[in-house]
Chains A and B, each alone.
Chain A
Amino acid sequence: MSRTGADSGLPPRHLQAVALVALAAASVGIDPSWLLGALTLALLVLAALKLLEARDRGGRRLVALLQLLVCGLQAAQLPDLLPSLVQLLAVVLSLAGLVQLEGGVTAPWQELLRQSLQVLAAALPMALVLFLLVPRLEPLSAMPARAAGQALTGLSADLDPGSIASLAEDDSPAARVAFADDRPPAPQQRYWRVLVHERFDGRRWQRDEAGETFDAGEMADAPGSAALQPDPEAGSADTAGRTQVWLAEPSRFTAVPWDGRSGSADPRLQLLPEGELRLRRPPIERRSYRLRPAAMPLNWQRQPPGPGTLTLPAGSNPRLQALGRSWGQLAEPAERIAAARAWFESSGFRYDRRPGALPRRDGLDQFLFQSRVGFCGHYASAFSALMRAAGVPSRTVSGYLGGRWVVPLGGASYLELRQSDAHAWSEVWLADQGWLRIDPSDWVAAPAEQGAPAALLAGSDQGLGRWTWLQRQWWGLDMAWSRWWLGFDRSRQQALLAWLLGARRGALGLVILAGLALGLIAALLPWQLWRSRQQGDRVSRDLAELLLLLRRLGLQPLPAETVEAFCRRAAAARPDLAPSLERLSRSHGLRRYGRPAGQDRRAQAAEWRRTLLLLKQARPGAIRQGRTSGP
């Protein structure tokens, strides 16, 4: 393709090309099957093609605009610290590209970046005023999402421990949670529920997956679902008493980990009746959400059990059912639970991550009465089935247990959950207490080489690799960023406005206008100061002052007359000023052409000021004033 004359005056494309490369690198985490992701990638490709094709200033401007749009769309999908930094870099480069286009000259890239940062810094105060104070709107409609995707890392929809011969050691990150007071939660509080499995077919525990393929509005219409509500009066020493900021890794489930007790004002979070907390985001996206203390037990804890929570398939696991029925003779459900605990503790069960597969038929019978070796899923599954046989409504819950408390060098402390922290436990319904968490894995012995599940509660940094250490430091910064950046949502904005305005919300418009005016002043004041500094160096300003003084005396320099010649002429015209003028002329020559440094420069500047003062005092007006004011 030949270059036409139209682009001959345009600056090179390098700067805009670098911005595109940065945006392309940041697009790695974008899901192209989501509408927003596809739009982002399409605009990125369009910007690249336009950059190749553009032959005039308008085309190159369009490239810069497309780059900014891609930045914004990426920010909507990738709000984490690293992508945000790349997006900021791309914004600076895009603006530098625009500045370069308008300048029409090949300025050094440092100068262009400096100008770009100056413009950005000047606009930032106004942007922050708008960002903080303009009331945010509710989403106009639900965003179309991609279809249910492939399973990523994380929990399984069905709890089927019998089919697992050995647990894979998956140490990939699952979630991180930071607390408002930077203190770790008590070990007994580190059960983080995600999925609730209520349907049991004799082998597998299944969950209700309605709403996982989140089409428009489905979540809000899910029966019994409700938004979490915060309770500002709440507060206690446990996790429910502290604000939490969660960052959950991508998962195919909309259900996210939580402690089961907190609330939230985030309208995107929906609580299902069985106690699953769901957040609609694309499966490829990392989810972030804030939870707040709730004083009262949440509804799901008091939600009466449905008939399905007592269902056991007829004919499956007959020995299990017989054992359960024998406990059913006990009057109180609590006694049945205690009997089960005593039975597990006395029957020689052993915790093992590689128990081997169980037969498809009556697998739990084999586990309970023959092998007696298993991991958390086996115990949760068997205990819940036993409770149903004993007439106690029950279900299994999968989520995470424990976590590692990380105190990075910089950023926020956080609890780190990995996939290896995945855990399963049971929930039973007691009429007076509601749904009660029972972890039967606690009742069994663990081999020393594998560690008991309870051992996961305490974090240890021993044996950490350098890479893991670095990763945790970065996550600390990431956590701090998320707590600050993702934490400012509609509810926080409402709180800010309430704090600022109280009941005078009608004055919000005026406050915004005043803020904008202040922002504009903050932007233009440094700019004007910078411009005034550009008017010349100190020597030139001093000379201008002298010329102004002489002009008031009726002495004007001639065209092409040197300072020295002008001073000689002025001295001839005004012999009374001759000594001062001679000194000023000599001083100017020394300062301008001698280029003194350091102390010499300061001394000569002082000499100039003293002489100029003498000249001012020698003016007729000054002399007359002296005479009239004297005795």
Chain B
Amino acid sequence: MRCAEASSGGFGWPGRFGPVQRGERLRLGLGNLLILPTGFGLLWLGGSLLLQLVGIQTQRNGPLLLSYLMLSLQVLALLLTHFNLLGLELRCARSEPGFAGEPLTYPLLLSSRHPRHAVHVRLAGQPVDTAAPAPLRLAAGTSSVELGWRCRQRGLHTPGVLLIQSSAPLGLFVCWCRWAPAAAQAVVPARQRGPVALAQPPRPALGRRPLDADRDGSEHWHDLRPHRPEEGQARVAWKALARGRGKLSKVFRDRAGEKPLLTLAAGVEPEQALRHLAAEIWQRSHRGEAYGLVLPHQQVPLGQGRRHRQRCLLALATAPGAALGTARGS
């Protein structure tokens, strides 16, 4: 799903022309790069013709040579501007979820065998404050770029059309390519304070340990016990080992039953209820509290920490609208 439409906003005229390339990876080449003289380039041509005329009229070498020099610079600029983008490779990097209506960053990786000057990478249809007007100076190798953008709708969204453009070194030609990166970014419902319902956690059966008591994703440290080889190195308590207490494993356990599971508030419009949940999750996470999430399409058990919060927010972002409506009806 594309959040920002392929408009020409903020691009100038190059943003309106040329096919839009698609995919998670783009290598700029002869097939997808376009190049045209800028308005300044046309003025430059006029200036060189004027000097040619002056040279002919006065029969002087100076204006003639300068006129030819300007023409040669124009030919050279055509190639240098094109070469500045030719061979540049762009890839989508792993993006972090962000809130709808707030600034998002869309990461890209730019790989180049050569240094490149003044490369503009901008997203279409974005407000000025999220655009990236400063040109990039890329060193040889891989560089990462984070593009600012905004999206008003929750879900998995692509940022729309990206314009990769350069007019270096002299600004006489503009070379560009339009690309719609395919990697989607999770957009979480906007945070809005409001009522949130609490669901009771399921009671464990007799003789059984609480559900997912020490499952992955729980980050609440509970105890230490002697290390068993099958537990791997991740749970080894290195600090204790360093203090000479032997090889011990950390035991994590969710405090199920002690904290609530958050769910949609009854009587609130589903999308708004999601926004309330987003605000609640954010606040609880910042307070260091444990919480869980119960949605019609997905349940996230109790837990805490950054990864847990990301799971919950991702669940909010991807909650299908139809399921929400059904749940509310029932």
- List the interface of chain A (C-beta within 8 A of B): 9, 36, 57-58, 61-62, 65, 68-69, 71-77, 79, 84, 87, 91, 95, 98-99, 101-105, 115, 119-120, 122-128, 130-131, 134, 136-141, 143, 268, 485-486, 488-490, 516, 519-520, 523-524, 527, 531-532, 534-536
Contact = CB atoms under 8 A, between A and B. Distances in A.
Given A36-B54, A98-B171, A524-B79, A123 B60 contact: no
18 contacts: A36-B54, A72-B55, A73-B51, A76-B54, A76-B58, A76-B60, A102-B117, A103-B168, A122-B76, A130-B72, A136-B59, A137-B56, A140-B56, A140-B57, A143-B58, A531-B115, A534-B115, A536-B141
A522 B71 CA distance: 16
A102 B167 contact: yes
B206 interface: no
Nearest to A104: B135
A483 B87 CA distance: 48
Contacts of A115: 169
A535 B171 contact: no
Contact of B64 (A62, A120, A131, A527): A131
Contacts of B51: 69, 72-73
A58 B117 contact: no
A104 B54 CA distance: 33
Contacts of A531: 114-115
B63 A76 contact: yes
A58 B39 CA distance: 9
A119 B56 contact: no
Main secondary structure of the interface of A (DSSP, over half): helix
Given A62-B40, A72-B54, A520 B62 contact: no
Given A136-B56, A136-B59, A534-B140, 15 more contacts: A9-B133, A61-B171, A65-B44, A72-B51, A75-B65, A76-B55, A76-B62, A77-B58, A79-B62, A102-B117, A124-B72, A138-B56, A139-B59, A519-B72, A524-B79
B170 interface: yes
Interface in B26-71: 39-40, 43-44, 47, 50-51, 53-71
A111 to B, nearest CB: 11
Contacts of B222: none
B137 interface: yes
B65 A127 contact: yes
B329 to A, nearest CB: 47
B145 interface: no
A430 to B, nearest CB: 38
Contacts of A127: 65, 68-69, 71-72
A65 B79 CA distance: 20
B11 to A, nearest CB: 15
A72 B72 contact: no
Contact of B58 (A36, A516, A524): A36
B66 A75 contact: yes
Contacts, number: 155
Given A99-B170, A130-B72, A72 B63 contact: yes
A101 B170 CA distance: 8
Contact of A102 (B39, B115, B170): B170
A102 B133 CA distance: 12
Given A36-B54, A99-B170, A488-B61, A523 B40 contact: no
Contacts of B70: 68
A75 B137 contact: no
Given A61-B40, A103-B135, A72 B67 contact: yes
B234 interface: no
Contacts of A9: 133-134
A79 B58 CA distance: 11
B147 interface: no
A305 to B, nearest CB: 34
B68 A84 contact: no
Contact of A84 (B58, B62, B80): B62
A139 B56 contact: yes
A104 B47 contact: no
Contacts of B114: 531-532, 534-535
Nearest to A141: B57
- Among A9, A127, A134, A486, the most chain B Cβ lie within 10 Å of the Cβ of A127
B118 interface: yes
A559 to B, nearest CB: 12
A293 B50 CA distance: 36
A490 to B, nearest CB: 7
Contact of A58 (B40, B56, B67): B40
A486 B60 CA distance: 8
Contacts of B62: 72, 74-76, 79, 84, 87
